[in-house]
Amino acid sequence: MGARVPGWSGGRLERLLGLDHPIVQGPFGGGLSSVALAAAVSEAGGLGSYGGHILAPDELTGLVAGLKAATGRPFAVNLWVPQPGEAELRARQADVDRLRPYFEELGLPAPDAGQQAGPDFDDQVDALLAAGPPVLSFVMGVPPARVLAEARRRGIATIGTATTVEEAVALEEAGLDAVVASGSDAGGHRGAFLRPVRESLVGTFSLVPQVADAVSVPVIAAGGIADGRGVAAAITLGAHGVQIGTGFLATGESGASTLHKAALHTPEARITVLTRLFSGRTARAIPNRFVREMAAAEEEVPPYPVQSALMLPLRREAARRGLDGLTNLWAGQAAALTAPGNARGYVERLLAETDKLLGGRSVPD
């Protein structure tokens, strides 16, 4: 994005991934990612990302081709590591009936009980390995050893996501090239995989220094970071870079609806909740009509991927109609610090704000 490189750039993360700046765009699933956003962040010198966990293998192949056409800079595609037994899960009739009033309200046919949910992870990751994105990132667990070995053989860098110190250590021991330390402040899904989510809610600025002390691979801080103050704090605490989700979700290039983006800048965004209602996995969102009406069912909805598959047509139709009361308004706890604008301008603002605070300070090496 130009020749100027702040004094706090140029560390291990940039050398590992081929970046100008240690800024990673958080990967969004469920249609919130876009090629335009990922390409814009990469062209600005950071790492653009695309959440691909709901995409079929052929769609992932096309996605990587589209990203390569849109930018010559490094980018990442993100997948969810499956949990044991997920592939065998099926929707029950009670799970369908619980959501039937919402399908009827939107004039949609209710899905069938017993249907299989979601694409196969092995098929997804094989398609991505063949397509060759510069970076593969993962949440929800440790990728299989054969995946990491093949990525390494093909020259694809890998990033894992940890919500606790023990998860970060597990990811490093498995051989991932970098670790995202994702604090409980972060919007969207919680990636806990060694302990239940309720035992893995560590705030970003408590988690980052502990992870930095525990692993030797580059650490990327995530959660509650939306401006240069957050970037500077993360670097000061030992992170080699930052991953920002909600701030990029608010930009014009993201796939979020106009209503979703507008909601990020309202007083209501100062309050977020953890909910399983949209996918069966715990995620942080701005509470809306659906979250409030279904609150009593939080512990009853089926796990991922069943609830995610049941909700997907509802979420898509609600987003298409601009019904923010029936769709997921993912948001981190720093949503109120976001502002409208384009992705390149946001990266430039982050760099300027952080450079002002850190000056010539170097990132940890």
Give the CATH H-level superfamily of domain 12-88+117-259+337-358.
Aldolase class I (3.20.20.70)
Report, as an integer, the average pLDDT of 139-144. 97
Asked which of 14-23, 317-326, 343-352 is least confident by mean pLDDT, the reply is 317-326
pLDDT of residue 3: 38
pLDDT(6) > 90: no
Percent of the chain with pLDDT over 70: 95
Residue 47 backbone dihedrals phi, psi, to 5 degrees? -110, 105
Confidence of residue 319 (pLDDT cuts 50, 70, 90): confident
* Token pair of 39 as six digits: 């390409």
pLDDT(1) > 60: no
pLDDT(5) > 80: no
Q: CA nearest 57: which of 116, 117, 126, 118?
A: 126
CB 319 within 8 A of CB 257: yes
Confidence of residue 361 (pLDDT cuts 50, 70, 90): low
Spatial separation of the C-alpha atoms in residues 264 and 151, rounded to whole Å = 36
pLDDT(318) > 80: yes
pLDDT of residue 4: 39
What residue ranges do the domains of the chain occupy? 12-88+117-259+337-358
Average pLDDT, the chain: 93
Residue type at 138 in one-letter notation: F
